[in-house]
Amino acid sequence: MKFLRYLSCLTLFSALVFCFIFPKSLVSYAANDFQGFTLKEQHVGQATFLYYPKLDPTAHFHKKVTVGLIDSGVAKKTADQLSEVKYFDATAQNDPFDTLGHGTKVASIIAAKDDQRLMLGIAPKATLYSYKVVDQAGLVKNAYLERALTQALKDQVDLLNLSLLPKHLTPKVKELLATYQRQGGLVFASAYTLKDPTTLSLFSKLKGVLLVGTYDQYFQSLGQNKAIAFYAPLTQIALTKEQQLVYVEGTSFGTAFVTGAAANYFALGKTRSEVLAMLQKFFSASALTKQQTFSSKFFAKHISSLEVLYTCLALATLFLFILLGLLSCFLHFKRQQSYWKLLVAEMLLLGLVAFLLLPTKM
């Protein structure tokens, strides 16, 4: 019995030492638990924390940046949480505001302003041009896209965010996107849907359009493809059209994250080539590979088995706790005290090890 007691303590202590030797990607931080800057009442997602201070929404911005959102619009109620929004209804239905909520979420990820109220976007000083291309029936027609792109060319926006997946693109839409790029604009578009990450969007066939995919909490890309330029965290925090904070997932919101990062760098005075270089450094497939550690790869590969193992270990620990408690009742009082002290110490150590072995959360 004494041998087993010492063996259990040695095992737990060895596991604890392992955690401190390989700390990266082992410690799990709760959302909004940031170690670098204070956000007061505002919230940002874990995605921003992963890149801070390389991507700092609280930096001193000194250059005006304009971002065109070709989406479902921006809700009128949420507009006061954005630095500046200009509206254009490409559906010709005399309603430029968002009724679906998708465009509003995208807008908040990019440019929710710094006012210590709800959430903080990645580029809080950016001016948004909202081009609504989703009609009341929820349809996105090429005629709407053509009007939106024509207006974006007139507005000369610096960046275009296309967080949508059209089923067909007309030659005119393709030509307008090519013209926009020749004028120096950057186009970011969703690469795929989470339901089918192996099938790329039609934007993948257009030269110069920067496709954005996503990666999970283990830094594993979802649907890796050479045509995809950048990868963003799968989970984001966003504002709904009712001004509520929610967690959202998808390439639409990952695209918004990368667009916001580009707007952030432009607002800092970076040139086009410098912005692209920084995006390549932080969001490319090679950058994603560098973030992967032994522990994250192991968890990604064996997560199902580990979940079963964790459950079995938890039940076994509970059983041992009850068993040791029952056995201690039959021991001498002084010996009982020593057993309980050892048991408490082991439980505390086991809890600490379990916490440290959790994979990084997003």
CA–CA separation, 276 vs 283, rounded Å? 10
- Residue 13's pLDDT is 67
Give ∠ CA 323-324-330 in degrees, rounded to 5: 100
- Residue 293's pLDDT is 75
CA 92, 95, 101, 104 dihedral sign is positive
For 281-335, what is the HEC assignment? HHHCHHHHHHHCCHHHHHHHHHHHHHHHHHHHHHHHHHHHHHHHHHHHHCCCHHH
Q: Which residues touch 322 (CB under 8 Å, ≥6 apart)?
A: none
Nearest to 184 by CA among 163, 205, 160: 160
CA–CA separation, 216 vs 12, rounded Å? 30
Residue 357 has pLDDT above 60, yes or no: no
CA–CA separation, 135 vs 246, rounded Å? 24
299, HSE (Cβ side, Cα atoms, 13 Å) = 19
Model pLDDT for residues 66-96, shown as the tens digit of each residue? 999 999 999 998 888 998 899 999 998 889 9
Q: CB 348: neighbour CB atoms within 10 A?
A: 11
Q: Is 252 a catalytic residue?
A: yes
170, amino acid identity: T
- Residue 301's pLDDT is 73
Residue 156 has pLDDT above 80, yes or no: yes
The CA distances from residue 134 to 137, 151, 187, 208, 310, in Å, are 8, 16, 19, 24, 46
The top-scoring range by mean pLDDT among 32-41, 89-98, 288-297, 351-360 is 89-98
CA–CA separation, 160 vs 149, rounded Å? 9
CA 281 vs. chain centroid, Å, equals 17
Model pLDDT for residues 255-302, shown as the tens digit of each residue? 999 999 999 999 999 999 999 999 999 999 998 888 877 776 776 676
Nearest to 356 by CA among 5, 27, 30, 83: 27
Q: What are the backbone angles phi and psi of residue 301, rounded to the nearest 5°?
A: -80, -35
Q: In which band, very low, low, confident or very high, does the pLDDT at 138 lie, cut at 50, 70 and 90?
A: confident
Q: Which two tokens stand for residue 114?
A: 């710094």
Least confident of 5-14, 72-81, 197-206, 257-266: 5-14
Residue 134 has pLDDT above 80, yes or no: yes
More confidently predicted of 171 and 307: 171
Mean pLDDT for 202-225 is 91
Residue 347 has pLDDT above 90, yes or no: no
Which one from 72, 102, 135, 295 is the annotated catalytic residue?
102
CA–CA separation, 195 vs 86, rounded Å? 33
Nearest to 353 by CA among 90, 27, 51: 27
Report whether 241 contacts 77 (CB < 8 A): yes
Residue 31 has pLDDT above 50, yes or no: no
Which one from 25, 130, 221, 252 is the annotated catalytic residue?
252
Nearest to 67 by CA among 1, 162, 142: 162
pTM above 0.75, yes or no: yes
H or E element, residue 220: none
- Residue 118's pLDDT is 80
- Cβ-in-10-Å burial (0-12, 13-18, 19+) of 182 comes to exposed
Q: In which band, very low, low, confident or very high, does the pLDDT at 305 lie, cut at 50, 70 and 90?
A: confident
Q: Is 8 a catalytic residue?
A: no
Mean pLDDT for 353-361 is 53
- Residue 22's pLDDT is 55
Which one from 25, 71, 163, 201 is the annotated catalytic residue?
71
Q: Which two tokens stand for residue 126?
A: 């950016």
- Rounded to a whole number of angstroms, the distance between the first and last alpha carbons of the chain is 43
Mean pLDDT of the chain: 82
